[in-house]
Amino acid sequence: MNHPVISDLSKEFAPTHKKKLEFYTEEQLAQLTPALIPKHIAIIPDGNRRWAMKQNSTHDDGHKQGADIIIDTVKAAKELGIKAITFYTFSTENWHRSQEEIDALMWLIESYLIEQKDKMIDEGIRLQTIGNESKLSSSLRHTITETKKATAHCSNVTLILAINYGGRNEITRAMQTIIEKIETKELSKEEINETTISHFLDTAEWNDPELMIRTSGEMRISNFLIWQLTYSEIYVADVLWPDFRPKHLFDAIVEYQVRERRLGN
């Protein structure tokens, strides 16, 4: 579906892609209304293991293929004008998987950050994380810290990895912190409202996602950003995550732009 076109689209998108377009054409971008581009999107990259089964391969191969497309997805998001993208990388429930798969996933996350650090810097991608990192290995925590430091100056787009993250766990930790603040008289119970609670969530730095994308056709939020997704639009892509491409991201944005966001009104 076509949308109102700004007369000089190249000027509208110039701040987003100073380099030559890599993923989309000017004709595709002309279908979008720049003012309606979501600033923050969240993605549940589901389907790595099912993709591996279809390929008669291992879970590790599925996770590797899934990791390989994250940076291209972030770069494509940047080209569209999206400023932050949060990936559900490892959930609090994922600890119930086999120790072999958990170890492989942790190794993959660490290796990925090491391998992609220079590319992230070149592309202006800033790394941030949400979740309870205390359960992660010291090596992985160190790699996360170093990558954050190395990309702290990057300002084109923020990549937020949710690692050992669960929405209920996040809210529980926020409540514990708030109670501590009340006990030490830094807060009073009369000050507790939705804004206060949001301030103590892992995502306090960013606006809530306007759009959440889940792949593999599953229609669940799976304990992901359960506070923040209250009024987010949800788009389900019927494709396994390793097969997700910039085209699918574009389709999600097109669909998002034609929806009427009432925000409870």
Give the residue numbers marked as catalytic: 46, 94
Q: How far is CA 17 from the centre of its chain?
A: 20
Question: Which residues face 211 on adjacent strands?
Answer: 41, 233
Write down how long the chain is.
265
AA identity, residue 95: W
Question: Which residues face 127 on adjacent strands?
Answer: 159
Three-class HEC string of 98-165 = CHHHHHHHHHHHHHHHHHHHHHHHHHCEEEEEECCHHHCCHHHHHHHHHHHHHHCCCCCEEEEEEEEE
At what angle are helices 59-68 and 99-123 packed, to 10 degrees?
Answer: 10
Token pair recorded at residue 110: 């660490």
